[in-house]
Structures are given as C-alpha cells and as structure tokens.
Structure 1
C-alpha cells in the first residue's frame, strides 16, 4: 500500500506549513506529513519553505534575519501564523510520521536535538521521523550527530545522484521528483533496500501511473486524492 504524505500539510486546501494545514492533513488521514525548516535569528526552528517571507506572508525579509517574535507578528493569508517545529510536533503528536526537510542552513544540529528531546522525554521513536534535504552537508551533519535518525536524499535532477548520496550516507530513503522515475531506477533503489517517496504529485493520472510502480509513498498537496 502506497503511503499518503501531505506536502507542507495539505497545501492544496490550506496555506502551506501552518498548523491549520497540518491539522487538515491529519483530518484527511495522512500516513506522513512533509514540512520545511529554517533557523530564525533568535535560534528557534521555524516551519517555513522559502528563504524569505515575501511570497507567503504580509512581511518581507530573510527568515534567518528575523527573530521568532518578529516572525510571529507576520500573517499568512491574513490570519495564520508561522509555527515553530516544536509546535508542529506537539500538534501532530505521533498521529503520523513527520518528514523534516532541512531547507535552511545550519538546521541539522537543532533538528537533531529537537528530535532527540521528543524521543527521550516525550515517548516518541526515531521511526516517527525522516530527515531529508537537497543539501548533502546538512544530511552529513545529521548523520554525524545521530546515526539513529533516518535520512532521505532529495533530488530534482537525478535518481542516480539521490542513490549515490544515499549510499554514502547510509540513508533510509530516496525522495526524487516523480518525473524522474523509471522501471530501472526503481528496481535499482529497491535492490539497494531504499524506500522511495516521490513528490509532488497532484493530478489523478500521475497518481494512478505511480501507484502501478513499487514505490512506498507519494507526497501531495491533495493527500485525499491518494
């Protein structure tokens, strides 16, 4: 059974990477939720995709140059807030697993520390998390900090590159763009023992085509279509 993974929550229905979007994904019965993190100027991990706040909020500026209190004053779609990663963990509360994409620089260590806190103090397990990134150095830092944290290599350009990095990092999964999949590279990934979660798949015909392949998860803005 292919797992359904909400992209930045349920981005097709409610603005991305907000608590409301994550709640919508949970209401739609997702197996996993994908989200993005940056470290803001005051040191907290915030859940946000872009490097600047301009596209999504009523403010402007770089995420890592703004403090948490400054980010919390910004509005998404006129009423929603930028959440911290801890707030998202508390909301999801093990109702599904969480794919934390290390989007910003220097996000590996604080992400590892927060995951460790939830595992050691709040009864979560390492199986509740996958940490992914397009940035190999952030994945390397994660691996060095705590090899128990499951890694996934993201790729927009090449499944071969994702597999190469996965081999080097002893990763758990590869997360390629769905258009890159072929029978051959799926077979190669499976032969090596990797899970395959693809992104971002929103159209019914693409979903049907992918579900015919031996993949593990589909990341979608509309997880109820899966």
Structure 2
C-alpha cells in the first residue's frame, strides 16, 4: 500500500509548506500530495482560495499582490511555497501528486513541468495530477498526453471507474466514507488504482489495506508506515 504525505507531513508541520514536504522525504513515504492555485501567473501551493485558515492573512488569493501573498505566514514563519520550489526540493525523490484547483491551472502547469524536465531532469512518471475538476483533467491530457492523472471524487457515482477509464486516468481518488471492496474490485478489473483520502487512524488504514486499496493520503505518514510494518510482522 502506498502512503502519500497529505499536504506534506501536515500532522506535525504547517500544511503545504516546504518543511512539511522535507519531512515527508525523511519518512520513506511513497509520495507527497499538494494543492495548486494559479496566482498572477505563478503556481502557488495552498489548499484554499481564501487564505484565512492556513495563513495569518485574510481574504481571497486574488486580493493579494504577489509580494503581499508571499509575505504571509503559512505557519511557523514559513511562506506559501511555489510549485517550482517544491519541485526543486522533491523532484525524482518520491511521487508528487499535484491537485489542481481552479479552472486555469493546466497550461501553466504544463509549461512548468516542461521547464522542470529541462532544468531538474524531472521524470514525468513521478508526477500524478488529480482534480475534482474533471474537464480540467481532460484539458491537461490534451496538452500533455503523457501526464498521469487521477480522478478525484467526493461521492460514490454509478460510473466513477468508467469516468476514470474515459479520461485515461491511472487512479481514482475517493473519500474514505465511500470505499468498499466492490469499488476496489471494479477499479482493479478496469486497470485503475484506488486511492483513499484522508486516512489517519490505524484501524481504518489496515481495513482499507485488507480490501485491496492501493494507497492512502495521510497526515501522519511515518506513523502509517509503522502501522503497516507492525501489522505485517
């Protein structure tokens, strides 16, 4: 089972900050997960369009100039990072699951990934792009056919797996409350991996492992890996 550090090691560090991602590199996690908005031409790593929850600022991203946005405290004195900074830190060291927010991020992401291929020798097969905005994923695949995508859903649709197949996705990402063995089996029969968010309890993690879930997003990846090792032993 793959363990993705959800917004980095967000159980112990401010979410979506460079220290949270650096900590994930030390845990042995299979990958990290981060959230992406486009702000004034820059891809910034933050979960919410409103900055109030995760920074000391107030208002919407678009209310801030770039200088003002990067002057905000995202926790422990850390600024909001850019995707480029995360790639500089993590490229080719583990899988990077980028969740696209908004409707305008695909072209900018393609341009930045091309730059990372040239300057950081980034392997595209180490990148997984997911979104609840399925037309955005479709556009991304048109712009960059070789990119791996994951379809995010927050419910249990009748055709979730078929949607992933239609989009030529490699994975379906589901809320933990909607995952059962039947869905896992259906995904696997279609050649789709099933990932579950957000799993922070040992009992839940092991139950999902036992029904064949391929990976989870976790705020405490070191603990999750230890739970898996202990259960296997």
**Normalised-by-shorter TM-score class:** over 0.9
Alpha-carbon distance in structure 2 between the residues aligned to 1:222 and 1:189 = 26
Q: Which residue of 2 aligns with 1:57?
A: 55
Q: TM-score, normalised by structure 2?
A: 0.92
* C-alpha RMSD of the superposition: 1.4
Alpha-carbon distance in structure 2 between the residues aligned to 1:160 and 1:128 = 30
Match among 159, 162, 165 for residue 164 of structure 1 = 162
Q: Which residue of 2 aligns with 1:19?
A: 18
Q: Which residue of 1 aligns with 2:219?
A: 221
**Cα gap change, 1:145/1:47 in structure 2, threshold over 3 Å: closer, same or farther?**
same
Runs of at least 4 residues off by over 6 Å: none
Aligned partner of residue 21 in structure 1, secondary structure: helix
Verify the 8 A CA contact 1:154 1:162 in the aligned structure 2.
no
Q: Which residue of 2 aligns with 1:32?
A: 31
CA deviations 1:144-181 (Å, max 9, x no partner) are 10110001000111154432321221111111112211
Verify the 8 A CA contact 1:5 1:32 in the aligned structure 2.
yes
**Cα gap change, 1:180/1:62 in structure 2, threshold over 3 Å: closer, same or farther?**
same
Task: Report how far residue 19 of structure 1 moved.
Answer: 0.2
Unaligned runs of 5+ in 2: 225-233
Match among 137, 140, 161 for residue 139 of structure 1 = 137
Map of 1:84-95 to 2, 5 A cutoff?
84-95=82-93
Match among 44, 47, 54 for residue 46 of structure 1 = 44
Matched positions, count: 224
Verify the 8 A CA contact 2:91 2:120 in the aligned structure 1.
no
Verify the 8 A CA contact 1:160 1:185 in the aligned structure 2.
no
Task: Report how far residue 214 of structure 1 moved.
Answer: 1.6
Match among 202, 206, 209 for residue 207 of structure 2 = 209
CA deviations 1:41-91 (Å, max 9, x no partner) are x21000000011111111112113423222111012351110000000101
